[in-house]
């Protein structure tokens, strides 16, 4: 069995590649990083080490790689033969890989009508659906009706913390022990892939919202407030009582929303939150606040992990999301010069002023309750 996986980065190698290998796939990674592509082809294997006292290590083999910049034809050929396609490139890169993916799928369906699923493993609600949209924008009506029959784009939620890697061995990936991969079964075509570690569910929305609005909202709070207090890593941010307290209060807000919206049992959800906080406290991960806070423009988007639940909190719970607003304010103050999106936000605030910048970034109208809360919290953060 062949899997073509776009993005041989942290989650690609440290999570998806590992599970695909355990399920018996040969994985062809597609990436633009020449060094990683060359090393994968030289060794055809790499190791994954657990960020835990045991430091257990497993070898992932049956892997190779293609450079999408210089080997487009080979990528198209691999898509033609693939049994599964997955991605972990980052939401902003999906429109870029969609071009080559489309060419591959167009060629494939000319001779191969075997059903094929494309699963985007990104931190995004409706990631595969978005990728499908980018693909379908390039198809004519006949191609669309063929693809409707044989190509599936099931949405997914993936959860495993994989920090930036600082190992001498450039292929080695350190990952936390915990993982969860949930896929929307109702969106699959053909047979369900047999991959130990995937949970198939009939409706993904409660799972992706639970993950994004708990793990990623909590992570964002720790990153932006951690940065605000000059703390370099997430586990250290959690040692700071002020940050941990604000994190817990923010997750109580999203918890209330999620419990009301998806009828989660409150005690079970509290247990889920406690487990996540423990994961953030893992000192073996030493996860930089700048990795977790990366891309603040994306994270402040109208449906992402901060503004998304804050708006819903007002609508569903009927209260003011004070702590989510504080996290949004901290994200607006995130001033990391090496992060292009942070630079853009600071530039926007200085060019157009805070109010206009908030509207442009979050798409919130100035008379929205959340808008006023964000402004208040921004000024109170100092």
Ligand X SMILES: O=P(O)(O)OC[C@@H](O)[C@@H](O)[C@H](O)[C@H](O)CO
Part in contact with ligand NAD (CB under 6 A); list of ranges 129-137, 138-146, 158-166, 332-340: 158-166
Part in contact with ligand NAD (CB under 6 A); list of ranges 88-96, 142-150, 229-237, 243-251: 88-96
Alpha helices in 112-240 (DSSP H): 127-136, 141-150, 205-211, 217-228, 234-239
Q: 10 Å Cβ neighbour count for 40?
A: 25
Q: At closest approach, how far in Å is the CB of 32 from ligand NAD?
A: 4
Round to whole Å and give the CA distance between 18 and 25.
Answer: 10
Determine, following the binding rule CB under 6 A, whether residue 161 of this chain makes contact with ligand X: yes
Which residue in the block uniquely carries the two structure tokens 């980018």?
Answer: 134
Determine, following the binding rule CB under 6 A, whether residue 216 of this chain makes contact with ligand X: yes
Q: Which residue is nearest to ligand NAD (CB)?
A: 9
Of all helices (H) and strands (E), which one includes residue 119? strand 116-120
Round to whole Å and give the CA distance between 152 and 337.
Answer: 40
348 interacts with, out of ligand X, ligand NAD, none, CB within 5 to 8 A per kind: none
CA–CA distances in Å: residue 75 to residues 27, 64, 65, 105, 108: 12, 12, 9, 11, 11
Determine, following the binding rule CB under 6 A, whether residue 158 of this chain makes contact with ligand NAD: yes
- Per CB under 6 A, which of residues 1..30 are in contact with ligand NAD? 6-12, 30
Q: Does the annotation list 9 as a binding residue?
A: yes
Nearest CB to ligand NAD, comparing residues 137 and 145: 137
Which member of 123, 214, 217, 346 binds ligand NAD (CB under 6 A)?
123
Q: Does the annotation list 3 as a binding residue?
A: yes
Determine, following the binding rule CB under 6 A, whether residue 160 of this chain makes contact with ligand X: yes
- Interaxial angle between packed helices 354-362 and 340-352, expressed in degrees from 0 to 180 and rounded to the nearest 10: 130
Q: Does the annotation list 7 as a binding residue?
A: yes
Round to whole Å and give the CA distance between 1 and 152.
Answer: 18
Q: At closest approach, how far in Å is the CB of 10 from ligand X?
A: 8
Q: At closest approach, how far in Å is the CB of 30 from ligand NAD?
A: 5
Part in contact with ligand NAD (CB under 6 A); list of ranges 47-55, 134-142, 160-168, 230-238: 160-168
Which member of 67, 123, 346, 377 binds ligand X (CB under 6 A)?
123
Determine, following the binding rule CB under 6 A, whether residue 225 of this chain makes contact with ligand X: no
CA–CA distances in Å: residue 211 to residues 305, 327, 328, 371: 9, 17, 18, 25
Decide if 160 contacts 253 (C-beta within 8 A). no
Q: 10 Å Cβ neighbour count for 190?
A: 13
Determine, following the binding rule CB under 6 A, whether residue 294 of this chain makes contact with ligand X: yes
The tokens describing 373, both together, are 């809360």
CA–CA distances in Å: residue 354 to residues 19, 332, 338, 373: 45, 9, 22, 13
Of all helices (H) and strands (E), which one includes residue 31? strand 26-31
Which member of 204, 215, 238, 358 binds ligand X (CB under 6 A)?
215
Which residue in the block uniquely carries the two structure tokens 């059903």?
Answer: 115
Nearest CB to ligand NAD, comparing residues 160 and 311: 160
Beta strand 63-67 with 26-31 is parallel
Nearest CB to ligand NAD, comparing residues 223 and 357: 223
Q: Does the annotation list 8 as a binding residue?
A: yes
Determine, following the binding rule CB under 6 A, whether residue 171 of this chain makes contact with ligand NAD: no
214 — phi, psi (to 5°)? -120, -65
295 interacts with, out of ligand X, ligand NAD, none, CB within 5 to 8 A per kind: ligand X
Q: Does the annotation list 4 as a binding residue?
A: yes
Nearest partner of 221 among 377, 57, 64, judged by Cα: 377
Q: At closest approach, how far in Å is the CB of 106 from ligand X?
A: 30
Which residue in the block uniquely carries the two structure tokens 């191969």?
Answer: 112
Nearest CB to ligand X, comparing residues 102 and 123: 123
Decide if 61 contacts 105 (C-beta within 8 A). no
Round to whole Å and give the CA distance between 204 and 8.
Answer: 25
Nearest CB to ligand X, comparing residues 83 and 335: 335
Q: Does the annotation list 164 as a binding residue?
A: no
Binding site for ligand X (CB under 6 A): 123, 159-161, 215-216, 219, 292, 294-295
Binding residues for NAD(+) are 3-14
Binding site for ligand NAD (CB under 6 A): 6-12, 30-33, 68, 88-91, 93, 96-97, 121-123, 158, 160-162
Binding residues are 3-14
């Amino acid at each position: 069995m062949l899997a073509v996986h776009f993005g041989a980065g942290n989650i690609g190698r440290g999570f998806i590649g590992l599970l695909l290998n355990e399920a018996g796939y040969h994985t062809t990674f597609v990436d633009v990083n020449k060094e990683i592509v060359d090393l994968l082809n030289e060794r055809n294997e790499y190791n994954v080490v657990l960020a835990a006292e045991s430091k257990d290590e497993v070898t992932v083999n049956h892997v190779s790689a293609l450079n999408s910049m210089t080997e487009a034809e080979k990528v198209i050929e691999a898509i033609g033969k693939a049994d599964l396609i997955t991605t972990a490139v980052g939401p902003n890169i999906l429109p870029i890989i969609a071009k080559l993916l489309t060419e591959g799928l167009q060629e494939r369906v000319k001779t191969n009508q075997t059903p094929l699923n494309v699963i985007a493993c990104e931190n995004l609600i409706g990631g595969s659906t978005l990728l499908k949209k980018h693909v379908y924008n390039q198809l004519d009506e006949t191609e669309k009706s063929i693809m409707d029959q044989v190509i599936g784009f099931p949405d997914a939620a993936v959860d495993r913390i994989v920090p930036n890697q600082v190992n001498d061995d450039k292929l080695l990936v350190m990952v936390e022990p915990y993982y969860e991969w949930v896929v929307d079964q109702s969106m699959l075509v053909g047979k369900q892939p047999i991959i130990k570690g995937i949970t198939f569910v009939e409706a993904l929305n409660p799972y992706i919202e639970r993950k994004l609005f708990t793990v990623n909202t909590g992570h964002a709070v720790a990153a932006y407030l951690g940065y605000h207090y000059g703390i370099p890593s997430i586990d250290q941010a959690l040692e700071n009582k002020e940050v941990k307290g604000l994190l817990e209060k923010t997750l109580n807000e999203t918890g209330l929303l999620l419990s009301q919206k998806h009828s989660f049992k409150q005690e079970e959800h509290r247990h889920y939150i406690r487990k996540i906080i423990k994961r953030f406290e893992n000192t073996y991960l030493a996860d930089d606040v700048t990795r977790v806070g990366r891309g603040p423009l994306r994270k402040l988007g109208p449906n992402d992990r901060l503004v998304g639940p804050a708006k819903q909190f007002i609508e569903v719970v009927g209260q003011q999301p004070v702590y989510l607003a504080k996290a949004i304010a901290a994200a607006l103050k995130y001033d990391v010069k090496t992060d292009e999106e942070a630079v853009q936000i600071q530039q926007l605030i200085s060019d157009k002023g805070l109010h206009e910048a908030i509207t442009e970034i979050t798409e919130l109208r100035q008379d929205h309750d959340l808008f006023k809360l964000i402004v208040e919290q921004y000024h109170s953060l100092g």
